Amino acid sequence: MSTPVNLDTIRRAPKVLLHDHLDGGLRPQTVIELAQRIGYHDLPYTTPTELGKWFVASADSGALERYLETFVHTVAVMQTREALVRVAAECAEDLADDGVVYAEVRYAPELFQEGGLSLDEVVQAVQDGFRDGERRAAEAGNRIRVGTLLCAMRQNARATEIARLAVRYRDTEVVGFDIAGPEAGYPPTRNLDAFEYLRQQNAHFTIHAGEAFGLPSIWEAIQHCGAERLGHGVRIVDDIAAPGDGGPELGRLASYIRDRRIPLEMCPSSNVQTGAAESIAAHPIGRLADLRFRVTLNTDNRLMSDCTMSSEFAELHEAFGYGWADLRWLTVNAMKSAFIGFDERLDVINNVLKPGYAQLVP
Ligand SMILES: O=c1[nH]cnc2c1ncn2[C@@H]1O[C@H](CO)[C@@H](O)[C@H]1O
Ligand SMILES: [Zn+2]
């Protein structure tokens, strides 16, 4: 008898998460407590339930720019070492509690300097917090490893500085780099120096591309910048013909991405909120998975989407009838695409994922 697929059983399956924003995943209660501590009075609500609902409703805006406005409040309460340590520790605990065994969590250090912290102090605080959270999760019986990606914000001009920061901390679980923020008007090629530097350093990076903007952004990210993975990348469907259209199914860019096994960090709930997809059922993840792109499933912002890795998969189960073999495929895809070493990835696949799914997949 195979195990039924529901939120409870999905939570117990080992999962891997590659695209999750630290400042998009705070517990509502923590936002409130941190705001009280520093005398921040601009929160729209001060009870966790109402505040949580406010984040989701406001992020549900149909446009990336408006969605990003909700980060003003989370960023405002994360300006001290104490706050950063706490938020990172709770992030690791929450992910582990949801059955995530390996995660890459990202944030932009340049946003947390309003209280006078240096970039180095920001990174050290977050790394300390993740180590605390991993320890506390282990004590609760949940094993997790958290790697960090440092983001540069597309609208600022600090990408090379942040890339250097990422390389400086590469031996302390900072495993890569990303650019985030508004996509339209800020093509990834604005930051070519940073990507050139990272390639020279044999360092890893992904780029948010093809979320709010189309194919040119994806093409630049891959062919000019050299991104190893794509954050979202949903618009790659614009280079794929509808079934029955005649002609080649995949255009040259879509073929390249599939042939090279370039991982797509897909975040269905977030995309529905920003208008990048109409609904989960209409989300390109279904088509891209059928075509065997290297699809991975992610949360993006757990606070703004009121989601978890498990709830995201439950949505796919509802919309596409996905079962354990599909969850295993998405999970192994993600682990293959992680920015840690090959032997470490293999170790998780062979010793954590395979035994975990052996019990679930009939
Ligand atoms: O889906 C997204 N697309 C682009 N940028 C994003 C998305 N979600 C969050 N951020 C941005 O990334 C920063 C660092 O974590 C956040 O502060 C937010 O501005
Ligand atoms: Zn994102």
Report residue 248's pLDDT band, with 50, 70 and 90 as the boundaries: low
Cβ neighbours, 10 Å, residue 351? 10
Domain contains 102: yes
Report residue 308's pLDDT band, with 50, 70 and 90 as the boundaries: very high
Backbone torsion region of residue 306, taken as left when φ is above 0, otherwise alpha when ψ lies between -120 and 50, otherwise beta: left
Cβ neighbours, 10 Å, residue 280? 18
Q: Which residues are tagged catalytic?
A: 211
Ligand nearest to the CA of 21: 1
Q: CB of 232 within 8 A of CB of 210?
A: yes
CATH number of 123's domain: 3.20.20.140
State how many domains the chain has.
1
If you average pLDDT over residues 63-77, what whole number do you get? 95
If you average pLDDT over residues 278-305, what whole number do you get? 97
Span from the CA of 301 to the centroid of ligand 2 (angstroms): 7
Domain contains 118: yes
Q: What is the mean pLDDT of the chain?
A: 96
Closest residue to atom 15 of ligand 1, CA basis: 107
Domain contains 229: yes
Is residue 301 in contact with ligand 1, taking CB distance under 6 Å?
A: yes
Residue 200 main-chain phi, psi, to 5 deg? -60, -30
Answer whether residue 97 shows pLDDT above 80: yes
Report residue 245's pLDDT band, with 50, 70 and 90 as the boundaries: confident
Domain contains 348: yes
Contacts of residue 257, defined as CB under 8 A and 6 or more positions apart, other chains included, come to 218, 222, 230, 233, 236, 264, 293
Closest residue to atom 14 of ligand 1, CA basis: 107
Q: Ligand 1, residues 68, 154, 305, 307: which to mutate, most atoms within 8 A of Cβ?
A: 68
Indicate the residue type of 283: H
Closest residue to atom 12 of ligand 1, CA basis: 180
Q: Ligand 1, residues 20, 55, 71: which to mutate, most atoms within 8 A of Cβ?
A: 71
Domain contains 2: no
If you average pLDDT over residues 27-46, what whole number do you get? 97
Domain contains 159: yes
Is residue 210 in contact with ligand 1, taking CB distance under 6 Å?
A: no
Q: Work out whether strand 15-21 and strand 206-209 pair parallel, antiparallel, or are unpaired.
A: unpaired
Is residue 211 in contact with ligand 1, taking CB distance under 6 Å?
A: yes
Domain contains 290: yes
Q: Which residue's structure tokens are 């609208």? A: 155
Q: What is the per-residue pLDDT for 47?
A: 98
Q: Which of 55, 92, 68, 99 is nearest to 311 (CA)?
A: 99
**Domain residues for 112?**
7-360
Domain contains 1: no
Is residue 151 in contact with ligand 1, taking CB distance under 6 Å?
A: yes
